[in-house]
A and B are shown apart, each in its own frame.
Chain A
C-alpha cells in the first residue's frame, strides 16, 4: 500500500544529544513537509522540500536540520540547539508543490527529552 512511514514512533533523548527522525513515502510525491504539534498550538511548519536536493525553512526551523537526497526520503534531525524539543512530529507529502496540493500525513513520531 502507498503511504508515508515515520520512524521511530516513540523516541527518548537526553539533553545535548542530536536525534534523527525518519520519513519515507512511496506515493511518488514531489513535496515533503515536517510539522511540529504541541498541545493548544496547532501544527507549525519546520521545513519543507519541493524537489530533491532543495529545501526551505518553515516558521520554526531553528534547532532543526533536514536533507532531501532521495525523492522518497526526508529525514529530520533535532539538534541540541533546539531549546524545547519535546513534541509530536508529523511528516507529510503532497503531489503538488506550489501552491500546496492535498496533504497526506504519516503516523507521527513522539520525541521526549529526559
Chain B
C-alpha cells in the first residue's frame, strides 16, 4: 500500500532564506506527483505537477524534483517571503491510478 510522508510537519524560517520541503513515498511505481499549497481555511492550489518520466519542474521561485528510485521528491523555494507561509502538500498517483496525499508541511516565513 502506497504511503506518502512529509517531514517536517512544521518549519519556521526567516524571510529571504532558501528552503527545501521533503516528500517520500513507499512505492516507486507512480504515474505522477503533484505539489499543492493550502492557506488556512482555503482549498488547495496546484503548484507543480511532475510526470513519472520527468526529473523536475520549475515555476518562478519554486522547483520540484522527483527521484522515483529512492521514492523522494523535494520542493525548493528560493528567497522565501512571508506570503509563502502556508501548508504545502504533496500527492502521488500510484499504480492503482488513485491519488495519495501526505499530511503536509506547515511553513511559516518570518519577516
Which residues of A pack against B, CB within 8 Å? 4, 6, 33, 40-43, 45, 88, 90, 92, 98-108, 110
A87 CA to B31 CA in the complex, in Å? Answer: 30
Which residues of B pack against A, CB within 8 Å? 31-32, 34, 36, 41-46, 49, 89, 91, 93, 97-99, 101-104
Contact A43 B93 (CB under 8 A): no
Inter-chain contact total with CB atoms closer than 8 Å:
53
12 other A-B residue contacts (CB within 8 Å) besides A4-B43, A41-B103:
A42-B101, A88-B41, A90-B43, A103-B44, A103-B46, A103-B91, A105-B36, A105-B44, A106-B43, A107-B42, A107-B43, A108-B41
- Give chain B's interface secondary structure class: strand
CB-nearest residue of chain A to B44: A105
Given A42-B104, A108-B42, decide whether A102 and B49 contact each other with a Cβ distance below 8 A.
yes
- In whole Å, how far is A5's beta carbon from the nearest beta carbon of chain B? 11
Chain A residues in 8 Å Cβ range of B101: 42-43
Q: Contact check: which of A45, A101, A106 meets B98 at CB < 8 Å?
A: A45
A106 CA to B98 CA in the complex, in Å? Answer: 19
A104 CA to B36 CA in the complex, in Å? Answer: 10
- In whole Å, how far is B21's beta carbon from the nearest beta carbon of chain A? 15
